[in-house]
Amino acid sequence: MKVLEIQGGHELKGTIRISGAKNSSVALIPAAILAEDDVTICNVPEVTDTDALSEILEFLGAEVRRASESIVINPRPIENKEIPADLSKKLRASYYFMGSLLGKYKHVEMYFPGGCSIGSRPIDLHLKGFEALGATVEIENDKYVVTANELKGANIYLDFASVGATINIMLAAVKANGVTVIDNAAKEPEIVNVATFLNNMGAKITGAGTSRIKIIGVTKLKGCFHEVIPDRIEAGTYIIAGALMGNYLKIDNIIPEHLEALTSKLSEMKVELEIGDDYLIVNRPDKYKPVNIQTQVFPGFPTDLQQPFMVLTTKCSGKSVIEETIYENRFMHVPYLNKMGANIVISGNKAIIKGPTELMGTEVEATDLRAGASLVIAALMASGTTIIYNIEHILRGYENIVEKLNDVGAKIEIKEI
């Protein structure tokens, strides 16, 4: 079994370069199926989630070549067959194969997706979207069978601005006959990145990044070259680490506009930030002001940074309140932070944090990806040594986390026990 061993208390100084966005890449890789020729996607992070999707592509018959940060996908040999449970359950984003296979072949058979246990995470909005486009959805023993004689453009209103549903409906609709309009669409930067990719292939999508996306169906999509945007959640995670332990820590290759909800909260807490065009320098202050946050869809405070951010609030002088509005069960890191010495009480969907508290190294478990990230941050500033178990969750989403942190002064290693 692999664990992370982290010796806390070391200042973070130097530069961390941010990788391509995991949550864009996991949609772009399945979306490549829609092209008729080779697709090259640059800046794809090497994390287990992107590996798992490449494995599904290869299972379907695609040729996938990794050349450092790029992936070249030849979708021509693909055979549309059932995606088995052992592949689909490796991650949440396997559900993007539903939209792309349906869009291309009008038929898909896939077992339920997996992913972090942070709530019930239904995909009813994806399925309703497919149905609105003319497909029928059947559920047979943990397997979805989605079929259409013809996909026809439709007006679709999402009850919730779901990232996954917005992308999956775009994938299914790009080749549908006629015009599709998605209202109350999600506005996350990853959606814009996927729409740009599809447009590079020849799709006609407008409005991505707003709450109304319009898709005019086309008959053919060609190969293309595309670049993944920087990962705003990876960046946010290291910025938070820098707010706690940074001495002029530079976070490079970012899009600062994607991080405004975080950076404005950090400024409110009196964390020193210097924000450039594509970088940010963060310095730990002597004292932190308490703050309240509520997770929201973009451009609000991202749920994916809620867990890492909570570590920072343990250092604030006074009471902070963090309200999680996107997922029902995203506080699984709290018992471990308390075990390390934090004073956090959960009340419904709110966490009440009283600080400042000193954290001490101990044995903890990463229950999901961002819970793992929060424990890494806690361990970096705790006194003594922390051992984190279940690190496979962390490796799903953070490229070279050990190397990146050691390069700026942390003492962190993966150990086999």
Residues that bind ligand EPZ (CB under 6 A): 23, 26, 92-93, 116, 119, 121-126, 160, 162-165, 186, 303-304, 326-327, 369-370, 397
DSSP string, 265-328: HHHHTT-EEEE-SSEEEEE--SSB---EEEB-STTSB-HHHHHHHHHHHTTBSEEEEEE--S-S
Nearest residue to 18 via CA among 348, 335, 326, 254: 254
What is the three-state SS of 117-144?
CCCCCCCHHHHHHHHHCCCEEEEECCEE
Cβ 40 to ligand EPZ shortest distance, Å: 22
Q: Which two tokens stand for residue 64?
A: 């996938």
27 close to 3: Cβ distance less than 8 angstroms = no
Q: Is 10 helix (H, G, I), strand (E, B) or coil?
A: coil
Nearest residue to 401 via CA among 376, 366, 368: 376
**Nearest residue relative to ligand EPZ (C-beta):** 164
Cβ 17 to ligand EPZ shortest distance, Å: 19
Cα–Cα dist 251/281, whole Å: 6
Q: Name which of 93 and 402 has its Cβ closer to ligand EPZ.
A: 93
Q: Which two tokens stand for residue 116?
A: 């972090």
Q: Name which of 185 and 316 has its Cβ closer to ligand EPZ.
A: 185
* Rounded alpha-carbon distances, angstroms, from residue 247 to 259, 272, 283: 20, 10, 5
Residue 116 appears among annotated catalytic residues: yes
Cβ 374 to ligand EPZ shortest distance, Å: 11
Cβ 220 to ligand EPZ shortest distance, Å: 27
B/e letters for 378-389, b = 16+ CB within 10 Å, e = fewer, are: bbbbbeeebbbb
Catalytic one of 42, 116, 224, 316: 116
Cβ 33 to ligand EPZ shortest distance, Å: 17
Q: Name which of 246 and 308 has its Cβ closer to ligand EPZ.
A: 308
**397: exposed, middle or buried (C-beta count within 10 Å: 0-12, 13-18, 19+)?**
buried
Q: Name which of 97 and 288 has its Cβ closer to ligand EPZ.
A: 97
Q: Name which of 232 and 315 has its Cβ closer to ligand EPZ.
A: 232
Cβ 111 to ligand EPZ shortest distance, Å: 17
Q: Name which of 37 and 124 has its Cβ closer to ligand EPZ.
A: 124
Q: Name which of 20 and 355 has its Cβ closer to ligand EPZ.
A: 20
Q: Which two tokens stand for residue 347?
A: 């009340």
Cα–Cα dist 346/197, whole Å: 41
Cβ 157 to ligand EPZ shortest distance, Å: 13
Cα–Cα dist 6/382, whole Å: 9
Nearest residue to 120 via CA among 329, 331, 349: 329
Q: Which residues are catalytic?
A: 116
